[in-house]
């Protein structure tokens, strides 16, 4: 690298020596003077080159050690300035990447911990059913449905944070999409005796798979925390509203509802709650450029609104 950076200086010295030697030759000057001057110049040049080479190696070593924050280098050429800038950019890029990986690892650990807590409940019930032999087909289907739902939740979380996750935006009819989700949770609606109504129709430009997943989390929570009454789903061109007549959410818990792992008062009262549903719904909504807002009153119910920004083609 050193010789590549200094190659033009070397070429200049060779040209100068050639010109001087031709001058001595053409003018028939004593060659002893030429050789003496050349030897003296070569000696000075060697000493200077050795010092310059040492300085170059030292600066190169400092650049390699630039990962240590307190080292500040002063570039002595345009090439060194550009190299230091590139090194700074690479350092910042990899530091940010490592920070994101570390954060994802911490979040994944928390999610898996909460997910395993959820999985223990249906697994324990199935184990008890196997030991006693006292169970119905509907009870068995209910527990396996919960296991499948929790497993699907974890898989979607992993896909959601994967760099290669693809989003396919198409025109999605909302009513058939929500009807399919309601059919999925039909056993829970029937077991609790809850009624459900879907009002309105709209066509959104969004990712059908991920929107469906976000709606599943909200509808699942609505069924889970509603013992009597009904769930109403309203559809319009700019919003989806999911209302229930459940136990509601404390006013002071609403600002933190979408935080990672936050369960609030209801979660503490219901030992099986982990707070993953709203958290994952918010994560998906952010990636789909949607907004989620929650209104709730204790013992009166909760309304979750998923709203989209108006698009020119909508």
For residues 313 and 18, the model is more confident at 18
- Residue 2 burial (CB count, 10 A): 13
- How far is Cα 48 from Cα 40, in angstroms, rounded to an integer? 13
pLDDT band with cut points at 50, 70 and 90 for residue 314: very low
Question: In this predicted structure, what is the pLDDT of residue 9?
Answer: 80
Does residue 313 surpass a pLDDT of 50? no
Per DSSP bridges, beta strands 301-308 and 290-297 are antiparallel
> Strand runs (DSSP E) across 180-273, as ranges?
195-199, 203-207, 230-235, 239-244
Question: In this predicted structure, what is the pLDDT of residue 275?
Answer: 65
Q: Read off the pLDDT of each residue in 82-94 and give the average, rounded to a whole number.
A: 82
pLDDT in tens, 35-50: 888 888 888 888 988 8
pLDDT band with cut points at 50, 70 and 90 for residue 207: very high
CA distances to 88, 174, 219, 246 from 296, rounded to whole Å, are 49, 24, 15, 10
The burial class, CB within 10 Å (0-12 / 13-18 / 19+), for 284 is: buried
CATH of domain 166-308: 3.30.565.10
Does residue 75 surpass a pLDDT of 80? no
- Of all residues in the chain, the percent with pLDDT exceeding 70 is 86
CA dihedral (85, 86, 89, 92) positive or negative: negative
- How far is Cα 216 from Cα 304, in angstroms, rounded to an integer? 12
Question: In this predicted structure, what is the pLDDT of residue 2?
Answer: 66
Per DSSP bridges, beta strands 169-173 and 230-235 are unpaired
Q: Which of 270, 290, 147, 266 is nearest to 214 (CA)?
A: 290
Q: Read off the pLDDT of each residue in 110-138 and give the average, rounded to a whole number.
A: 80
> Residue 146 contacts by C-beta under 8 Å, 6 or more apart in sequence?
121, 122
- How far is Cα 187 from Cα 140, in angstroms, rounded to an integer? 12
Does residue 21 surpass a pLDDT of 50? yes
Residue 198 · residue 165 · CB < 8 Å: no
- How far is Cα 276 from Cα 254, in angstroms, rounded to an integer? 15
Of 243-247, 258-262, 310-314, give the range with the top mean pLDDT.
Answer: 243-247
pLDDT band with cut points at 50, 70 and 90 for residue 32: confident
The continuous run of DSSP H or E covering 48 comes out as helix 31-64
Does residue 310 surpass a pLDDT of 80? no
Question: In this predicted structure, what is the pLDDT of residue 66?
Answer: 57
**Per-domain residue ranges for the chain?**
2-73, 166-308
- Of all residues in the chain, the percent with pLDDT exceeding 90 is 26
**Mean pLDDT across the chain:** 82
Residue 43 token pair: 């000696």
């Amino acid at each position: 690298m050193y010789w590549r950076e200094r190659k033009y200086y070397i070429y200049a010295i060779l040209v100068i020596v050639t010109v001087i030697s031709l001058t001595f030759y053409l003018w028939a000057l004593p060659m002893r003077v030429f050789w003496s001057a050349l030897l003296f110049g070569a000696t000075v040049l060697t000493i200077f080159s050795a010092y310059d080479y040492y300085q170059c190696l030292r600066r190169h070593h400092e650049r390699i050690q630039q990962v240590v924050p307190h080292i500040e280098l002063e570039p002595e050429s345009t090439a060194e300035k550009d190299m230091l800038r590139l090194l700074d950019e690479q350092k910042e890029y990899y530091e940010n990447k490592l920070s994101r990986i570390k954060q994802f690892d911490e979040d994944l650990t928390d999610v898996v911990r909460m997910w395993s807590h959820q999985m223990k409940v249906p697994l324990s019930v199935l184990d008890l059913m196997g030991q006693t032999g006292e169970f119905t087909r509907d009870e068995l289907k209910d527990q396996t449905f919960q296991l499948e739902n929790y497993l699907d939740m974890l898989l979607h979380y992993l896909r959601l944070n994967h760099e290669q996750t693809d989003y396919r935006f198409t025109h999605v009819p909302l009513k058939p999409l929500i009807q399919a989700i309601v059919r999925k949770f039909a056993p829970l609606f029937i077991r609790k005796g809850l009624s459900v109504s879907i009002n309105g129709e709209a066509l959104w430009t969004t990712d059908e798979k991920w929107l469906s997943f976000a709606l599943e989390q909200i509808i699942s929570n609505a069924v889970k925390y509603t013992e009597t009454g009904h769930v109403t789903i309203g559809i319009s061109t700019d919003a989806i509203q999911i209302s229930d007549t459940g136990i509601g959410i404390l006013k002071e818990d609403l600002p933190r509802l979408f935080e990672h792992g936050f369960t609030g008062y209801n979660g503490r009262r219901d030992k099986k709650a982990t707070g993953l549903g709203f958290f994952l719904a918010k994560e998906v909504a952010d990636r789909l450029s949607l907004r989620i807002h929650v209104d709730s009153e204790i013992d009166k119910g909760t309304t979750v609104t998923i709203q989209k920004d108006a698009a020119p083609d909508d």
